[in-house]
Chains A and B, each alone.
Chain A
Amino acid sequence: MLVFDGVAFSYGDHAVLRGVDLSVDAGRIVALLGPNGAGKTTLVQLACGLLRPSRGSVVVAGRTDHRPAARAPVLGVAPQDLGLYPMLSVRENLRFFARMRGLRGHTLTTRLQTVAEDLELGHLLDREAGRMSSGEKRRLHTAIALLHRPPLLLLDEPTVGADVESRDRLIRVVKELAADGTAVLYSTHYLAEVEALDARVAMLDRGRIVAQGSVAELRAEYAMSHVELRFRPPLPEVPEGFVAEVTGDAIRVAAVEPGATAAALLSELRDHLGRLESISVFQPSLETVFRAVTGRPFTAGDEDAGGRDGSDGAGGSDLGDRS
């Protein structure tokens, strides 16, 4: 549905994208992950036709026609910055953009109601958009992109400024759309969202895709899981054959398959289980993967990446997410 083939883009001398190869198929969510300044928004704008690549090509639904109006019928876009009429009601905003997409009559009314309900805007239809909370505005902003049931959806940082409820709702809707066959390119710098979306990940850093794959694939390729056992003193010795780190009252063992490793450890340490206080499995976070791939923390050039979720951002543990 969407293919970037060796796409490069520069603003003057400043190269923003340096040869991006990426594709988004029908029914798939590709999470474009990278810190601010990585080139995510530029990539989305190239997909829309708002920008033209300086090298390479962008193919949308099999066509290379770069004019925004030519791509519009198959494209639903929620740009990073809010785009709505604050002086008009939610209904008027949706109606106007639906009419601009050629919807009218019963189809328009039905789509407006459906989209409003999907994004929990049904009770807000007569409210002036400018008087809504930032999360509600963000939902309206996204709803506008869904009105004409586009087969390709581009969401550029769709949850910036949104509350937790709005974010969860949006993620649920995006997953439903993908399940119905929509191709989704979801740009974000919130690592937790990528995991929640269960998306295929394309890590963008300094204008290049540095890693691609499912979350599980990236974890397996770039970072190890850990199994941690905590005991009341005295701490037992680490069984032979395990690479472990001992700290205070805990034994931490690196594991490719943490379930099997945990089972093996418990078996080996069965004589000490009376003193076992806890057992935890730590999956490496995407931050850890990003660091492994780029050699830099994910927060480079990004002031608020860690603001939403401590486990994934600047304050995140190198160990990752406890499960």
Chain B
Amino acid sequence: MIHLRRWLVLATHELNILRRDPSVPLLLLVVPLLGTLIFRRTFDRVLLTLGHASSNGSEQAIPGMAVTFGFFVVGMVGMSFFREHGIGTWDRLRLSSATTVDILIGRLLPYWLLSLAQLGLLLVVGVVVFGMEVEGSWVGIGLVTVAFSLSLVAFGMAGTALLHSSQQANALSTFGSITFSGLAGGLVPLATLPAALRAIAPVSPSYWSMRGYRSLILDGTGIGGAVLPVVVLLSFVAGFSFLALLRFQVSAPKTSSWSA
């Protein structure tokens, strides 16, 4: 059943909590923009050697930082569930009139919106402030962004289902961010990675989002350049969601460093 009002109550409540946490904008926006400032010049020279003469480095730095720091949403999703266990409100939510599905949708919706806002803002700031030139389709970029953000939230939910503590969620977030982004070509252009790493790179959603962004921003492809990355990213969404539904137990005990 669709309980739109309840989902909105849960989502706005979560956003109300998130807006009080200064680490959220710091981690999702400030640090990636600082990273762009630092790495842009280096990427400028690398992209030049790869044949992108008109780029200024932000075409690699902005999507790279977005994909790297976008991954922290995975940990945030997990932490939000573990926090509820830590402060004793998980059972209270279950004892409200909300069903488990309501709670999950109401909880995931704000993180999807947060992820969309983060990726969107970084891309806009990339164009407006850093002069990032987009050669291809903006619609395609939008589709990749939507699909990538969905895959992050689904990954977060699968992680929540499988993990048992907020520390584990934190570790997954940090490890996944660096590892997947590195493999995806988010930290350095994919072409500069060893062949062995390039071969295993497609196992992560980060790779497919970077592939989409690179194709649309640097190679100037039309909306067709987004099709394969979007399809693969949506497959990740389906896979993670299936795993989450398979393993998520509403009454499973979780430990958290939070307390009421």
**Set of chain A residues within 8 Å of B9, measured between Cβ atoms:** 96, 99-100
A72 touches B96 (CB 8 A): yes
A88 part of interface (Cβ distance < 8 Å): yes
B87 part of interface (Cβ distance < 8 Å): yes
**Set of chain A residues within 8 Å of B6, measured between Cβ atoms:** 100
Task: Name the distance in Å between B116's Cβ and chain A's nearest Cβ.
Answer: 24
A83 part of interface (Cβ distance < 8 Å): yes
A50 touches B91 (CB 8 A): yes
Task: Name the distance in Å between A81's Cβ and chain B's nearest Cβ.
Answer: 5
**Set of chain B residues within 8 Å of A50, measured between Cβ atoms:** 91, 94-95, 251
B89 part of interface (Cβ distance < 8 Å): yes
B17 touches A85 (CB 8 A): yes
A83 touches B89 (CB 8 A): yes
Residues 1-23 of B contacting A (Cβ, < 8 Å): 6, 9-10, 13, 16-17, 20
B97 part of interface (Cβ distance < 8 Å): yes
B99 part of interface (Cβ distance < 8 Å): yes
Docked complex Cα distance between A296 and B146 (Å): 65
Task: Name the distance in Å between B144's Cβ and chain A's nearest Cβ.
Answer: 34
B260 touches A83 (CB 8 A): yes
A197 part of interface (Cβ distance < 8 Å): no
A85 touches B97 (CB 8 A): no
A83 touches B88 (CB 8 A): yes
A72 touches B97 (CB 8 A): yes
Chain A count of residues within 8 A CB distance of the other chain: 29
| Mask of B18-45 contacts with A, CB within 8 angstroms, 1/0 | 0010000000000000000000000000
A75 part of interface (Cβ distance < 8 Å): yes
**Set of chain A residues within 8 Å of B92, measured between Cβ atoms:** 77, 79, 83, 97, 144
In the complex, which of the residues B89, B90, B97 contacts A101, with contact meaning CB atoms closer than 8 Å?
B97
Nearest B residue (CB) for A92: B16
B17 touches A77 (CB 8 A): no
In the complex, which of the residues A67, A87, A101 contacts B20, with contact meaning CB atoms closer than 8 Å?
A87
Docked complex Cα distance between A87 and B19 (Å): 11
Nearest B residue (CB) for A45: B91
Given contacts A96-B13, A100-B9, contact A85 B96 (CB under 8 A): no
| Mask of A55-71 contacts with B, CB within 8 angstroms, 1/0 | 00000000000011100
B104 part of interface (Cβ distance < 8 Å): no
A137 part of interface (Cβ distance < 8 Å): yes
A69 touches B97 (CB 8 A): yes
B238 part of interface (Cβ distance < 8 Å): no
A310 part of interface (Cβ distance < 8 Å): no
Given contacts A73-B97, A101-B96, contact A87 B17 (CB under 8 A): yes
A86 part of interface (Cβ distance < 8 Å): yes
Docked complex Cα distance between A50 and B68 (Å): 39
B93 part of interface (Cβ distance < 8 Å): yes
**Set of chain B residues within 8 Å of A86, measured between Cβ atoms:** 87, 259-260
Docked complex Cα distance between A96 and B99 (Å): 16
Task: Name the distance in Å between A45's Cβ and chain B's nearest Cβ.
Answer: 8
With a 10 A CB-CB cut-off, give which of B87, B91, B92, B97 has the most chain A CB atoms. B92
B98 part of interface (Cβ distance < 8 Å): yes
The 8 A-B residue pairs with the shortest CB-CB distance, nearest first, are: A83-B88, A100-B96, A82-B260, A83-B92, A72-B97, A81-B88, A99-B9, A83-B89
- Pairs A–B under 8 Å by Cβ, sample size 20: A48-B95, A50-B95, A72-B95, A72-B96, A73-B97, A75-B95, A79-B91, A79-B92, A81-B88, A83-B87, A84-B87, A84-B89, A84-B260, A85-B17, A85-B87, A86-B259, A88-B17, A100-B6, A100-B97, A102-B97
Chain A interfacial positions (CB closer than 8 Å to B): 48, 50, 67-69, 72-73, 75, 77, 79, 81-88, 92, 96-97, 99-102, 129-130, 137, 144
Chain B interfacial positions (CB closer than 8 Å to A): 6, 9-10, 13, 16-17, 20, 87-99, 251, 259-260
